[in-house]
Structures are given as structure tokens and as C-alpha cells.
Structure 1
Amino acid sequence: MDTAKPLTSSNLPAPLDTSADPAAQPSACSGMPPAVSFGVAFKFWLRLGLISFGGPAGQIGIMHRELVEEKRWISEARFLHALNYCMLLPGPEAQQLATYIGWLMHRTWGGVVAGALFVLPSLFILIGLSWVYVAFGNVPWVAALLYGIKPAVAAIVLQAVHRMGSKTLKKPSEAPVLWAIAALSFIAIAVFKLPFPWVVLAAALAGWLGQRWLPAQFAAGGGHGAATVVGGTHQPALIDDHTPTPRHARFKKTRLAKVLAAGLALWLLPMGVLMAWQGWAGALTQMGWFFTKAALLTFGGAYAVLPYVVQGAVDQFGWLTGAQMMDGLALGETTPGPLIMVVAFVGFLGGWAKQVLGPEALFLGAALAASVVTWFTFLPSFIFILAGGPLVESTHGKLQFTAPLKAITAAVVGVMASLAVFFIVHIAYESSARGYFGLKMDVAALGLMAMALWALLRYKLGVMPVMAACALAGLGLYWMA
């Protein structure tokens, strides 16, 4: 494994070839952010794992605000370049993006730590909530807290749409093609319910064609157009638009072989232990195999793979009931971390129901099952990033590669907007016995969302204070009811 070193402008190697593009030379602007040590990065990734509410849109929005706008660890262009690659992969794109940036800054261990800390807080929280769920049933005051958090989540998603859209789409008159891609992506997802992979592929095709016929629409802004600007002066990022690729991030066949071999070993070893202990038909073995397949099918986010998880976990294996699955999804939506972490809830209830460590150790068995499920679900994401990252870095600044990715970014804005609409609809209405025409608008939830959005956009409050205030408001509404 590579050792982690602080990333500074002085320890970056010279670019492979910038003679063909004078604009690709490193900026001489002043105000470079200070070097980021591994310890400082560790604290940030841990904090991110504790505040990463709002699903992928909210989580990407948090990372964008913190890493691009406030800390300036990475520029807008490099951030979006990495995000576009993660959007093409199966698995949770926000967690993969954290892994990518951590790897780019502090080598292999930086990526492992960033990706792991994005998941572990959520795992521990879900294990605790799952135990409360199976041991004590529904707790009214917890439901009240979640009631207040959901409008805040919707506001975070809307803020993310605003931030990403204003950076990516520019003005309609400047980039009408990108606006059209975003609008069509929104319609494809929100109206026609098309599979997300098809939307991504269509956007990539549009970008590839666009760089040939309308290159100005897909070219990056001149100079540092995507970078943070304060008072009209460019504020360079630690990993800036034209910062040369670090030596550890350059593609090598030997490194690729090592990463793939390590990933295969990290899958085979625990799977072999489970098979030797419980056999192929054992509950833990089947969980490991089932969620490995699920991890490779999560194109388009957690919602795209949930039907497959429900079919296997509920119908095929009987690890939990359909009603319990819905409760788990609600917990997953209102806890930090990627939404696919709902699989930890599935694993916990499956381990509890199957008594994988015997009836005298229900909690330990369920916690072990949740950990096994999490391991096999997220391991492929680390392999994809550590193996494919150098290939992605080699395409930076090449229009034939960046134009499809820029088109995908525009499509992501439309997809994020559809997610915002999804959240708004679900917090604004609650079903009654009269069916669709008996839907009743939840004015209180919409009011909380509006106030949260106002606090985020107008007063630039942090995510955690807004979440905490909305949770307390939900608790107050419960006691007043």
C-alpha cells in the first residue's frame, strides 16, 4: 500500500505533457491553501461521515461546499471530473467520490480512510437503531424527530441542486445544450421513470457528439473559470484545474494488477471463512454472496437496486418482512451515509431472525450480519476507485473525454432536481383511507422545508444546525399535537 503524505504544490511531479496547451501550465496566483496533513483530512472525513444526510444529492452538495468553496482542497473542474466517473459506476457515488478525493490527496490509505469513514458512522448508528427497532418497536418521539428531519433533507437536496446547477449550467444563453440535457434528464427520470443508466449513457453520447459539432458548449471556462473566485480574484485550490497529476495517481499496469489482486483477496478471504464456518447455505454466506451481486447492480443509486434487494431479502430468503423493509428505508433516508446503507438494517434483521450466533447472542449475531453485509456491499466501490482512478486522471483536460463527462454532470443536475421533487412530494402529502384524491397537504412539513432552505441559502448556515433545529421542531410539533 502507498503511504499517506501531505499534498502540497511542491511535492507534485511535473506534468506529463503540457506543451500543446499553454493554458495547462500551473497557475502563478497567490493565496494557495495550506498543505493538508493526513490527520487533518482524517478529522474532516470523520465529520463528513457524521453529517452526510440528504442522500447522494445532499452528500455531494456538502462535499462541494466544504472541499471546493470553503477549504479549496480541490477545484470545481477536478471535483466534477471525479464525480462524473463515480456516476458511471455501480455503487454509492457520494461515497466513491469521497474515496476518490481522499486517494488523490493522500494515496491509497487516504482513499480507504475517506471511503470507510463515510460508511462506518452510519453502520454504527443503524446497528443501534435496528436494535431499538427489534427490541422495543416503534418509539413515538423518535418518529417525531424523523418527521422534522425529512423537510431539512429536502432543503439540503434543493440547495445542492442550486449550487451544482449554477456552477455547471451557467446561463441558458451560454450553454443551451447543457440546459437541454438537464431538462431532458429531469423529464426522463421524473415523468417517464427511465432507468438511470440509460440517462447517463444518453448524456455521454450527447457530450461525445457535442464536442465534435459544438465544442464551445462543452469546453471548460478559460483560465480558472471553474475555480473559486473572491472579489474578482482567483482563489487557487490545492488540487487546481491544471495541477499536474501526482505520481501515485498515474496509470501503471503493475499497480492496476496489484489493486485487482488485493481486492480479489479481500473478497475471497472472508467468503472462504464464512463457507468453512457455515457452509454455502449458511445465512451469513448467502448474505455475502447476495449483496456482492447487489453491489454490482446498483447503477442509478439505491432506489434502482431496492427492488432486487426486496425480492431477495423478503421473498427469497425471508430475512425480514415487507413492512420491515419499508421501515428500514425510512431509517436509511434519515441517517447519515449513503441510502444503500439500508442493507445494514436488512442484515441486522436477517441475523436476528436467523439467529446466526444462536438464541443467546441475538444482538451480536445481528451486528455481525450487518457488518458482513456492509463489507460485501462496499468492497467493490473501493476497487473501482483505486483501480480506475489513474485512468480517469489521465483524461483530465482532453475534450473528447471531458465533454461526455460534462454532459453527464448536466444530466446529474436534472436527476438531482427530480430527487428534490420526490422528497417534496413525500413530505407534502400523506395518504388517507380515501386514496389518491384524499391526499392531505402537510403545511407544517412544507413550512419547515422552506425555513430550512432559507437558512441554508440566505444565511449560509451549516447543515448540522439546520438539521438539529428541524429535528427539535418536529419534536415540538409532536408534543403540541
Structure 2
Amino acid sequence: MSIAVDGPDTVTEIRPTFAELVSAFARIGLMSFGGPAAQIALMHKICVEEKRWIDEDRYLHALNYCMLLPGPEAQQLATYIGWLLHGVRGGIVAGLLFVLPGLAIILGLSSLYALYQEASLVTGMFFGLKAAVLAIVVEAVVRIGKRALKSGFHRGLAAAAFIALFFFSLPFPLVVLAAAMIGLVHARGVPSAAVEISEEVRARPPLLRQFATLLFWVAVWLAPLPLLWLLLPETALPEVQTFFSTMALVTFGGAYAVLAYVAQVAVDHYAWLKPGEMLDGLALAETTPGPLVLVLSYVGFLAGFRESGVLNPLVGGLLGGVIAAWATFIPSFIWIFAGAPYIERLRGNRLLSAALSAITAAVVGVILNLAVWFALHVIFTRVEPVNLANFGPLSLSVPLPVWSSLDWQALVIALVAAVMIFRFHLGIGKTLIVAGLLGLAARFLL
């Protein structure tokens, strides 16, 4: 395969066939419960540990880049890995398969919600899976931390990132950029070994070709907009495309960083949702596979359903959900296909490699923060922030669980999953199957 056309070769001994790549990412897409921390952990376990398709350093290098981008970092990481293994077609397939199972489920649940305002029976099926994902996330923090935190400096960065996010709720991009700057300053006084990369990867990507790639994917991203304004101007669909395309450029830090604003605009400005319905959508998205930002497809569905114009409301809703997903996820292909060749080339730059390794350390703190947040919300049904002190514009607060809201069923399932993973080293698939069956029993038999 020519690198000039498809992408760089991997540096590992095992290279999957395209069919193996499709099978693996279909599996990842179906099992990617629990938000970005769990999804990053799942891809690491399958692509790095089980399959050995890429090595640890290259995985973390790709993760560092994706953490700097707006939008769903886990889907971008899937696209990056697919691109590394099978070029552009691999990136497209990996990125789509990561999203499509969750999108199909969220559209189905949104349909039930819009028609009947009730989807609890369906979401109950995922109760046990969420509890099991908690054990997967904890394992990821331990595993990635052992490999990424190679010095006291990096361990300190990870701890500082966790404190900044968990206790002070600092913006995610600020924490990552601060880590990069600290890594650059630290690297100037510390010698490091050069990273061995191939001459093909070291070569500068053709500027015109990368610019053409950028223009092509931007055109793909925005292509539905003129058609919607021309053919369906009386529906909410053109505004859905416009609004969520704008959101895709500013969603740093994942879904929670933008959900409050989306809810406010969707309720107060467009009147697509009623007050409180955003929380219902978030509950649906949290219990389905795929990125949490799929909740935006739920918003798009309700917008298309309630302002369908000449369309059947259900058809309008499905189109709204798909358009919201299109506007949200297509930019991931733009960032990866236009930028990844340059990011791969930077693996040989000592200072930039040091900055990215500092980001890796901060990312461990980020994943730990997500893991703690996820654990609190899985095991307890109520978590309330407690303000401890104020330092000018900063406030020191801690999310504390309401102990009376302990969900002992979720705790038991999480402990069973932890024993299966840590003690018996069973695979993710078997663990999720057992947890899913326990979850069904807990919800419908006990």
C-alpha cells in the first residue's frame, strides 16, 4: 500500500486485513458504553493489547492529538487508528462503525420517546452494562497510567490535571494546553532519545494534496445544507444542520462542555425541546453505546419531529437525528485525514514529542477524572456538588454522593465485573454478557 495515497504503515509486526479491521471496529462500536474513558480503554485493550495492531507509544501519540481537537475524541481516535492501519478507507470505516450502532439505538429510543414519552423498558436493558463498564474504566486508568507515567514529572502532571478538573472544574482545553507548555519547558533542560520513524512518515506530506483533502471533507460536511434550505425550508432541518455544524467547531472537552448551551438554545430560542427533556435525552445517551455527544441526535430528532412541515413527523425526526449526527461527526474525518500525516511526522521532533508526552500524562488525569465521575453516577443515583472554598474566580468544589441513594445492584454488578477482569482476566465480551444478564435480572426479577 502506498503511503502517499492511503497513509503510513504501522510499526508493529501484526497488520490486520481490511475484513479484520471491519470486524474489530464493529465489535468496538457495539461495546462502547460508558463515555470517552471507557471507549478509549476499550480501543486500547483490543487494538494494542489483544490484536497488537499498533504499539503503546503510537496509540498515545494519536490520543494526544485527538484530545486537542473539538468534537468526540474517542471517535476521532477510532478514525486515526483506522487510518494508520488501512489509510483513508480504514479511517472512514472505523469512524463510522464506532458511531453507527449507537446512532441507530438513539434514533430508535428517540422514536419511542417522541411517540410514547417512555423508553425506560428499553434503557433498562443497558443497566448492567453500565455497571460493568466501570470496571473496564478502572482497568484502563491502571494500565495506561503504568505505561504513560514514566517519571515523577509525568506523575505530577497527571495528579495536577486530575485536581484541576475534579476539584476546580477548569476548562478541559486549558488543562491540556497548560500540560503541553509545561512539557515543552521541561524538555529544554532534559535530554531525550529520538523517536525512530520511517523515512516515509518523516517525509513532508504534499501541501496541495492535504489542502485538497481539507476542502473535500469540508464540502462533504456542508453538502446537505443548501439542499435542506432549497427543498425543506419550512422544516427545522436547515437550522439543525446550521446549529450543530457550529457546535462541532467548539465542542472541546466532550459532550458535557456544550450540553448546557445546546439545551438552552434548543429550549429557549428554537423551542425544539421542553424544559427537562434534555435530561431525558442525556439518560438515553448514557445507556447506549457510542459517544455521549449522540445526545445531539436526540435533540435533532425532536426538532425534526416537531417541526416536520410537509414530512411525516417520524420521517422528519429521523432526518433530524441523522443530520445532527452528520454535522457533529463528519468534522472528525476532516481533522484526521487533513492533520494526521503532519502529526505522524512530528513523532520525530524532540520538543513536540515532549509536549505530547506531557499531554499523555495529563490525559491519564483526565481519564481518572472521568472514571471517578462515572463511578459516582453509576453507583449512586444522586450526586451533589459541595462548594468548599472560593479563590477569586476559582471555586474549590467536590461532587459528593448522597449515601442514601446508593444503588446496591449496580455496585454488585460492578464488583462482579471487576473480579472477572482483574482476577480471572476474562475478555470484555464475556464480562459484558454476564453483566447484561445480571442487569436484566436486577431490573425485572428483583
- Residue 150 of structure 1 deviates from its aligned partner by 2.4
Contact 1:53 1:337 in 2 (8 A): yes
Q: 2 CA distance for matches of 1:46 and 1:250? A: 33
Matching residue of 1:458: 423
Whether 1:147 aligns to 2:127 is yes
Whether 1:349 aligns to 2:314 is no
- Residue 194 of structure 1 deviates from its aligned partner by 0.5
Whether 1:52 aligns to 2:32 is yes
Matching residue of 2:387: none
Contact 1:4 1:38 in 2 (8 A): no
Letter in 2 for 1:112: I
Letter in 2 for 1:276: L
The alignment partner of 1:214 has SS state of coil
Whether 1:189 aligns to 2:165 is yes
Letter in 2 for 1:270: P
- Residue 77 of structure 1 deviates from its aligned partner by 0.8
Contact 1:154 1:449 in 2 (8 A): yes
Pairing partner for 2:367 from 416, 434, 446: 416
Q: 2 CA distance for matches of 1:334 and 1:473? A: 15
Pairing partner for 1:449 from 414, 433, 436: 414
Q: 2 CA distance for matches of 1:140 and 1:67? A: 34
Q: Mean Cα displacement is larger for which, 416-425 or 467-476?
A: 467-476
Whether 1:318 aligns to 2:299 is no
Go from structure 1 to structure 2 and tell me whether the alpha carbon gap of 1:144 and 1:295 turns closer, same or farther (over 3 Å shift): same
Matching residue of 1:198: 174
Pairing partner for 1:95 from 68, 71, 75: 75
Letter in 1 for 2:346: T
- Residue 431 of structure 1 deviates from its aligned partner by 4.0
- Residue 407 of structure 1 deviates from its aligned partner by 0.7
Q: 2 CA distance for matches of 1:386 and 1:155? A: 33
Pairing partner for 1:373 from 320, 324, 333: 324
Go from structure 1 to structure 2 and tell me whether the alpha carbon gap of 1:248 and 1:183 turns closer, same or farther (over 3 Å shift): closer
Deviations, residues 70-121 of structure 1 (Å, cap 9, x unaligned): 2111111111111101110001111111111211222222211111111112
Letter in 2 for 1:368: L
Go from structure 1 to structure 2 and tell me whether the alpha carbon gap of 1:215 and 1:329 turns closer, same or farther (over 3 Å shift): farther
- Residue 423 of structure 1 deviates from its aligned partner by 1.5
Pairing partner for 1:259 from 213, 216, 231: 213
Structure 1 residues without counterparts, runs of 5 or longer = 13-25, 221-240
Letter in 1 for 2:218: L
Pairing partner for 2:45 from 65, 68, 74: 65
State how 1:34-433 maps to structure 2 within 5 Å.
Answer: 35-170=15-150, 175-215=151-191, 242=196, 244=198, 246=200, 250-279=204-233, 282-358=235-311, 361-431=312-382
Contact 2:218 2:331 in 1 (8 A): no
Q: 2 CA distance for matches of 1:246 and 1:112? A: 22
Q: 2 CA distance for matches of 1:101 and 1:437? A: 40
- Residue 135 of structure 1 deviates from its aligned partner by 2.4
Q: 2 CA distance for matches of 1:307 and 1:122? A: 22
Q: 2 CA distance for matches of 1:348 and 1:249? A: 45
Q: 1 CA distance for matches of 2:145 and 2:281? A: 31
- Residue 143 of structure 1 deviates from its aligned partner by 4.3
Contact 1:250 1:393 in 2 (8 A): no
- Residue 322 of structure 1 deviates from its aligned partner by 3.3
The alignment partner of 2:405 has SS state of strand
Q: 1 CA distance for matches of 2:3 and 2:114? A: 42
The alignment partner of 2:70 has SS state of coil
- Residue 450 of structure 1 deviates from its aligned partner by 1.8
- Residue 245 of structure 1 deviates from its aligned partner by 6.1
Q: 2 CA distance for matches of 1:401 and 1:263? A: 27
Letter in 2 for 1:176: G
Quote the sequence identity (%): 45
CA radius of gyration, larger in: 1
Letter in 1 for 2:206: K
Q: 2 CA distance for matches of 1:469 and 1:322? A: 37
- Residue 480 of structure 1 deviates from its aligned partner by 4.0
- Residue 282 of structure 1 deviates from its aligned partner by 4.3
Contact 2:8 2:201 in 1 (8 A): no
The alignment partner of 2:381 has SS state of strand
Go from structure 1 to structure 2 and tell me whether the alpha carbon gap of 1:256 and 1:94 turns closer, same or farther (over 3 Å shift): same
Scaled by the length of structure 2, what TM-score is found? Answer: 0.89
Pairing partner for 1:440 from 394, 405, 412: 405
Q: 1 CA distance for matches of 2:442 and 2:91? A: 42
Q: Mean Cα displacement is larger for which, 301-310 or 443-452?
A: 443-452
Q: 1 CA distance for matches of 2:200 and 2:104? A: 34
Go from structure 1 to structure 2 and tell me whether the alpha carbon gap of 1:314 and 1:453 turns closer, same or farther (over 3 Å shift): farther
Matching residue of 1:228: none
Q: 2 CA distance for matches of 1:124 and 1:67? A: 24
Structure 1 runs, 4 residues or longer, greater than 4 Å off:
2-9, 245-250, 435-438
Pairing partner for 2:435 from 470, 473, 476: 470
Q: 2 CA distance for matches of 1:163 and 1:437? A: 30
Deviations, residues 155-206 of structure 1 (Å, cap 9, x unaligned): 2221211121111114xxxx11111111111111111011101100111011
- Residue 429 of structure 1 deviates from its aligned partner by 2.3
Contact 1:151 1:427 in 2 (8 A): yes
Contact 1:249 1:393 in 2 (8 A): no
Go from structure 1 to structure 2 and tell me whether the alpha carbon gap of 1:209 and 1:108 turns closer, same or farther (over 3 Å shift): same
- Residue 357 of structure 1 deviates from its aligned partner by 4.5
Q: 2 CA distance for matches of 1:48 and 1:436? A: 31
The alignment partner of 1:83 has SS state of helix
Q: 2 CA distance for matches of 1:250 and 1:40? A: 30
Contact 1:288 1:372 in 2 (8 A): yes
Structure 2 residues without counterparts, runs of 5 or longer = 384-399
The CA RMSD over aligned residues, in Å, is 2.7
- Residue 290 of structure 1 deviates from its aligned partner by 0.6
